[in-house]
Structure 1
């Protein structure tokens, strides 16, 4: 029986033909064209699971491709590391006390540096995970900085970046001066005064940044006389022979209106013996005390009815062995009966910037000591009393003036802090 389509030679299949399902297919050099067979099998199976013979060598992980910067067909895909800086690049008026940070996401940090435009390096530290760098050194005012860093991701890729910013300008830099000066020896009535170069709006923030302690354990309170002047004193006089420590952490403190404090330092003030005095305008006397014990009482003359001495407590400010007084400085003009022109006095101890002193009475006033008030507001004493005050009392000691018709001295006319009731002083 002859099979249709059978091509035989001598009853055998030709070497160039093979039976494949429903027909014959030729081969070359006796080899099966396997591609067709594979496609047929895949079609019958409904999937390409049998394409094994077509697979090339395995595709490597992106981890082995350090130069890849965009996700591709490689697997697994490792996203590039990123970093965030504080302050952001281009920032201006940066507070120099605020720490500078670099925080990496999806990787770690390396080679972080922070340098000013003048070449000064700022130190910093990396956390244990090497993902956050934080500056540890202070910055300078009115300076430009460059922050450089390198990130390393899980694929071993590195990327280097820089960020620049500028700190608070000189126009927004605020300073302050303290009185008494550091290391100064003063009396028990001396308040601590800070005078700021710029108005202070954030007063509570400033108070919080200043810590004042006494070796005697005395606590005190701040009292703001203006936006630029604040003083601090205890309820009672400072304890004799105590030490006051004033720690001012004002660097970077926001005073308000963009003004930033530019310093931090600690000052000490030494308190001496308690030296006080009482001047009585009615009794025409001046009595001195040391540690609450009376030393001596001298006859005195105080301000007359036209120029009464200021009342209350006046703190001694400075001393001049010889002082030159000018009547015109208190508004007196030629022809005025009270005009004394110009004169020099001995042993002058200042009570107010406006011109009240304790001093040796002039020759014309000496006969009135202990009898009448003839001065222009000063406390006049004889040579012995005036020289004793000059030689034994000092800045920060206090005189209480009684029975005068004068008013309290202005807050900015010396240190009249002790004339303010404590409840009012501590809550202003």
Structure 2
């Protein structure tokens, strides 16, 4: 009995040791221990598709990775730039049945990437509009989740645009700078210069000069070549002006340069010489500003033309009794050179005897009737008038279009 008992006892100890050894082998080999043995032996693994999403590695393989969702704009976003194309992206999953639309509007078209993970809108949105998203996300196990989100775009009060001169379709003189006036201040001027492209058929390089945050002018180093075609493409839609203001349009503006017409007025000789494409076509005597009203020197550009223009001494600060005062009058063949009132025009009859001999005007260039009529008929807005040897300062850039009086090396400096 004692021997038999010892044998049975030895058997039980051996069994325990074998069990411990098996457990150590399982753990050493990367197993998860005897507590999981009944699962292996007695039951099947639950379907991954029918179980909650797993994010910790367990017995089931393969583990479905969680879907990472990226939606732009984010839910509830406001003042969204309508040029920023909305998108839905699922990492470790796919997107389907995406519907993006404004209230009562048609769905915004879009495309899905080849792998099905990303939907991107195919066209920009409208300003001042609320949009809603509805889309379905599919994970690696085929489970679907539908979501809804909404956002709104930049409101009308934050829209910005610009006006261009010369006007679209016009023919301009060779001295006419391009002027762009923005409805709102432009804080990032370098970005705006990239957004607005200027194409010049003559291949003349151009420079930008910002006179303020809202006004910029563009010109080449020398006058535009004759017959040049110029296109200013204002791709402003979605451009950030700064201060929350966003461009609302893309507008191309094109115009053509006529012949290169330049009139050179010399106070020493009291003459005007007019050149068309470098060829002298007319010489005429002139009278210029008297010693109290010197005609400005340098370059000016014809701003506008009036067959008859009303002149008033009050516009230059004179009142009855002042030296140089004259009553309101009408002049013939008026070609404006500055905003302050310097013109090329037909001299008053009382001044015809001075034309070609001495100066009697208040700064204007006076011509005899036949020459004034010829000038008015053959010169156009944007053409150049250069005045020499008056002793006065050049026309200021914003006193019309005195941009040509700024040296090229300095023109583009802000």
TM tier, smaller: 0.7 to 0.9
Q: 2:88: which partner in 1?
A: 102
Per the TM alignment, residue 109 of structure 1 is displaced from its structure 2 partner at its CA by 0.5
Change (3 A) 1:146 1:293: same
Write the deviation string for residues 71-106 of structure 1: whole angstroms up to 9, x where unpaired. 599945545644211121112222221121111122
Following the alignment from structure 2 to structure 1, what is the Cα–Cα distance between the partners of residues 229 and 184? 29
Q: 2:25: which partner in 1?
A: none
Q: How does 1:143-222 map to 2 (within 5 A)?
A: 143-222=129-208
For the pair 1:413 / 2:399, whether they are aligned, the reply is: yes
- Work out which of the residue numbers 303, 310, 315 in structure 2 matches 1:324: 310
1:61/1:74 contact within 8 Å kept: no
Deviates more, 1:401-410 or 1:343-352: 401-410
Q: 1:116: which partner in 2?
A: 102
Per the TM alignment, residue 397 of structure 1 is displaced from its structure 2 partner at its CA by 0.7
Per the TM alignment, residue 423 of structure 1 is displaced from its structure 2 partner at its CA by 0.6
Q: 1:126: which partner in 2?
A: 112
Following the alignment from structure 1 to structure 2, what is the Cα–Cα distance between the partners of residues 332 and 48? 108
Q: 2:11: which partner in 1?
A: none
Aligned pair count reads: 384
Q: 1:35: which partner in 2?
A: none
Q: What is the SS of the residue equivalent to 1:423?
A: helix
Q: What is the SS of the residue equivalent to 1:406?
A: coil
Following the alignment from structure 2 to structure 1, what is the Cα–Cα distance between the partners of residues 361 and 336? 15
2:395/2:405 contact within 8 Å kept: no
2:299/2:395 contact within 8 Å kept: no
Change (3 A) 1:296 1:312: same
Write the deviation string for residues 49-84 of structure 1: whole angstroms up to 9, x where unpaired. 9979x946x454132x3xx55559994554564421
For the pair 1:351 / 2:351, whether they are aligned, the reply is: no
Following the alignment from structure 1 to structure 2, what is the Cα–Cα distance between the partners of residues 320 and 281? 25
Change (3 A) 1:127 1:298: same
Q: What is the SS of the residue equivalent to 2:321?
A: coil
- Work out which of the residue numbers 383, 387, 398 in structure 1 matches 2:373: 387
Q: 2:346: which partner in 1?
A: 360
Following the alignment from structure 2 to structure 1, what is the Cα–Cα distance between the partners of residues 109 and 257? 40
Contiguous gaps of at least 5 residues in structure 2: 1-7, 9-14, 20-33
Change (3 A) 1:92 1:274: same
For the pair 1:90 / 2:76, whether they are aligned, the reply is: yes
Change (3 A) 1:114 1:74: farther
Q: What is the SS of the residue equivalent to 1:92?
A: coil
Per the TM alignment, residue 373 of structure 1 is displaced from its structure 2 partner at its CA by 1.3
Following the alignment from structure 1 to structure 2, what is the Cα–Cα distance between the partners of residues 133 and 188? 50
Per the TM alignment, residue 421 of structure 1 is displaced from its structure 2 partner at its CA by 0.7
Q: How does 1:38-117 map to 2 (within 5 A)?
A: 55=42, 58-63=44-49, 65=50, 69-71=52-54, 75=60, 78=64, 81-117=67-103
Following the alignment from structure 2 to structure 1, what is the Cα–Cα distance between the partners of residues 160 and 146? 37
Q: What is the SS of the residue equivalent to 1:183?
A: coil
Q: 2:276: which partner in 1?
A: 290
1:62/1:74 contact within 8 Å kept: no
Per the TM alignment, residue 273 of structure 1 is displaced from its structure 2 partner at its CA by 0.6
Change (3 A) 1:401 1:113: same
Q: What is the SS of the residue equivalent to 1:364?
A: helix
Following the alignment from structure 1 to structure 2, what is the Cα–Cα distance between the partners of residues 375 and 390? 19
| TM-score normalised to structure 1 length | 0.83
Over 3 Å off, 4+ runs: 42-52, 68-82
| TM-score normalised to structure 2 length | 0.86
Q: 1:137: which partner in 2?
A: 123
1:69/1:80 contact within 8 Å kept: no
Following the alignment from structure 2 to structure 1, what is the Cα–Cα distance between the partners of residues 234 and 243? 20
2:305/2:333 contact within 8 Å kept: yes
2:333/2:346 contact within 8 Å kept: yes
For the pair 1:277 / 2:268, whether they are aligned, the reply is: no
Following the alignment from structure 1 to structure 2, what is the Cα–Cα distance between the partners of residues 70 and 289? 84
Per the TM alignment, residue 203 of structure 1 is displaced from its structure 2 partner at its CA by 0.8
Contiguous gaps of at least 5 residues in structure 1: 1-21, 23-41
For the pair 1:370 / 2:356, whether they are aligned, the reply is: yes
Per the TM alignment, residue 170 of structure 1 is displaced from its structure 2 partner at its CA by 2.6
Q: What is the SS of the residue equivalent to 2:350?
A: coil
1:125/1:135 contact within 8 Å kept: yes
